[in-house]
Structure 1
Amino acid sequence: MSQDAQRRYQFEGVPIEPVQPGTNLLVAGPPFAGTKAVALRMLAAGELADEGLVLVAADDTAEAILEDYTGVGGTFNRGRMAVIECAAPSANNDDENVRTVRSPSDLTGIGIEFSSLYEGLYTEGVERVRIGLFSISTLLMYAEELQPVYRFLHTITGRVRSAEGLSTCVIDPTAQDEQTISSVEQTFDGRVDVRQTDDGGDQLRVRGLPDQPDGWQPF
């Protein structure tokens, strides 16, 4: 296997072909379709010893998002993981790799904590960082306008590209208008749509990335 192939992010158990380092993925779908679980599974797949993980939990506590992450098979060492929670802080949490901001509306605070945690992982010898954002829809709900959220996403995705990391950022397309979705999508390299079929099955499709399966795929 070539060095380039080895460095690609691979998603075992998810019908998505490996992607290049520096890829940002918008994972779009309603909550009942398991969209959050898909994004977490992609972050958990193929974890390497030199990688770290930063999760932004705009919808939940750090404790809850970490439980969801381990629930899909995530095994990152806690020393290489960091969480920013934007809701009520987890009870009795004195983990230095968990930071709390006052509200999902505090994009400046989230950005400051993100930079601090991100750079801290690199200081500890982590070479590549995976990023998960749960969810963009919550940030948009708390924001008075789109532009601050767009700038925030542009900063996050730009850092992922420059450091050859990976991001999966969740959005509920039923909660936003098409113009907002289109604007948000511009900051990402590809989009993964998730849906549940009438018979209860789960499907996804990938758009915007090369060498991916065509159409909806069961998983």
Structure 2
Amino acid sequence: MSQDAEQRYRFGGLPIESVRPGTNLLVAGPPFAGTKAVALQMLAAGELADEGLVLVAADDTAESILKDYTGVGGTFDRGRMAVIECNSSGNDNADENVRTVRSPSDLTGIGIEFSSLYEGLYTEGVERVRIGLFSISTLLMYADELQPVYRFLHTVTGRVRSAEGLATCVIDPTAQDEQTISSVEQTFDGRVDVRQTDDGDHQLRIQGLPDQPEGWQTF
């Protein structure tokens, strides 16, 4: 697939210029700043009928994250989307588009389900897939060490690059030390910082990507 201007990912409603296919974005900010909503809005913006969507819900239920996705304007065909729900209760979900693993600590299980769903979409003729991970902070909280999470992120972002998709993965920088954040950043092409000012304004800043607005932008 060509990486010409027509194939670039665009983010209408957000002060972010279009990015090339195969871009992985780390969306960093505390929950109260609306960080999750920004990441979901980036996935929902300009969604095409022939694209797929895979959401990894480490923080919440599949039902809740899909509700949040539609809340920011996202639409989806049940035949080209899926959610991996990290549900420690171990209950099976009757929805065939929802895969359940036992907990956010089960990175192997999440990885297996991710690969299966991703490959299944391509088998059905879906050429480009948007990926959302909510959130890296939860995976780190459940992991004994950074390395397994890093390997998991490396696998996910590598798949997105090779298939010319798009990924937005959320992290709370207040919950991790700077060394951990720096290590996680290495697997991404750029970073979108989100914050809420003392006046209640929501702002974002893009780092590591070309041709983007400089400094903090209100949205």
TM-score by length of 1: 0.97
Residue 11 of structure 1 corresponds to which residue in structure 2? 11
**Cα–Cα, structure 1 residues 103 and 92, in superposed 2: closer, same or farther, change >3 Å?**
closer
Structure-1 residue corresponding to 2:127: 127
Judge conservation of contact 2:132–2:168 (CA < 8 Å) in 1.
Answer: yes
Shift of 1:90: 10
Aligned counterpart, 2:67: 67
Task: Answer with 141-150 or 80-89: which moved more.
Answer: 80-89
Match of 2:191 in 1: 191
What displacement does 1:88 show?
Answer: 5.0
Q: Which residue of 1 aligns with 2:146?
A: 146
**Structure 2 counterpart of 1:52:** 52
Give the Å deviation of 1:28: 0.0
Cα separation, partners in 2 of 1:91 and 1:29, compared to 1, 3 Å: same
Does the 8 Å CA contact 2:3/2:20 hold for their aligned counterparts?
no
8 Å Cα contact 2:146/2:180 also seen in 1:
yes
Contact 2:37 2:72 in 1 (8 A): yes
Q: Which residue of 2 aligns with 1:164?
A: 164
Number of paired residues?
Answer: 218
Q: Post-superposition shift, 1:87? A: 2.2
Change (3 A) 1:3 1:146: closer
Partner of 1:104: 104
Q: Distance in 2 between matches of 1:3 and 1:117?
A: 24
User: Matches of 2:213 and 2:49 in 1, distance apart?
Assistant: 29
TM-score normalized by the length of structure 2: 0.97
Give the C-alpha shift of residue 95 in structure 1: 1.5
| Aligned-partner Cα distance in 2 for 1:205–1:90 | 38
Q: Quick one: which amino acid aligns to residue 12 of structure 1?
A: G
Q: Say whether the 8 Å CA contact 1:63–1:90 is kept in structure 2.
A: no
Match of 2:173 in 1: 173
The AA in structure 2 aligned to 1:156 is: V
Amino acid at match of 1:162: S
Structure 1, unmatched stretches of 5+, are none
Deviates more, 1:117-126 or 1:153-162: 117-126
SS of 2:47's partner is coil
Q: Secondary structure at the match of 1:76?
A: coil
- 1:48-71 deviation line (CA, Å, top 9, x unaligned): 111000000000110011000000
1:78/1:89 CA distance change after superposition, 3 Å: farther
- Contact 2:51-2:80 at 8 Å conserved across structures: yes
State the Cα distance separating 1:93 from its structure 2 match.
3.7
In 1, Cα distance between equivalents of 2:143 and 2:94: 29
CA–CA distance in 2 between the matches of 1:28 and 1:215?
15
CA contact (8 A) 1:203 1:217 kept: yes
Deviations 1:39-92 (A, max 9, x none): 000000001111000000000110011000000000121211100000257988
Distance 1:49 1:89 in 2: 34
- Cα distance, 1:179 vs structure 2: 0.1
Who is 1:30 aligned against?
30
Matches of 1:71 and 1:171, distance apart in 2: 21
Residue ranges of structure 2 left out of the alignment (5+ in a row): none
Contact 1:189 1:209 in 2 (8 A): yes
Q: Which 4+ residue blocks in structure 1 deviate beyond 6 angstroms?
A: 89-92
